Structure 1
Amino acid sequence: MQWESWSAFWDMGGAAIFVWGSYAVTFGLLALELVLVFQRRRDTTRRLLRWRRAVGKEVGKHDGGEFEPALESER
């Protein structure tokens, strides 16, 4: 498609509110998804570090190097 001017491009033949609104919503949702992914990653890292410290303390109490699950659901 070709437009006569930049204002015609930004107007999009009268459909600018739908076109640019769709872009705004899409980019907003992508930004929100990135924020949520980084928060989940941080929370998961913290949980794994806590679990690692807990398992390390329990493993130190036992004789062998055999893995002893820290949680009942891991047995």
Structure 2
Amino acid sequence: MWNSPAEFFAMGGYALYVWSSFGACALVLLLEPLAVRARFKVIVKRLKQEHLAEQFDREGSQ
């Protein structure tokens, strides 16, 4: 039990480890959706280009 907010934030002398762990976790939770969205956009763009290239090849062979 903590008797004051200062004791809570000090985490019994382990504050640097505890709060840096929470910070790293929060950072990952924020960055992962952004990275997934960026990869998704790249994949969609690549698929559209491949589809257009296939259409061009089909039209050229006729």
Stretches of structure 2 lacking an aligned partner (at least 5 in a row): none
1:5-58 deviation per Cα after TM superposition (whole angstroms, max 9, x unaligned): 222211111111110011111222333333222111111110011111111222
User: How well do the aligned residues superpose, as a CA RMSD in angstroms?
Assistant: 1.9
How far apart are the structure 2 equivalents of 1:31 and 1:59? 43
The percent identity for this pair of structures is 29
Higher RCO (C-alpha 8 Å, min separation 6): 1
Q: Which runs of 5+ in 1 are unaligned?
A: 64-75
State the structure with more CA Rg: 1
Q: TM-score normalised to the size of structure 1? A: 0.65
* 1:4 partner SS: coil
TM-score scaled to structure 2, two decimals? Answer: 0.75
The number of residue pairs the alignment matches comes to 62
Q: Which has more helix, going by share of residues?
A: 2
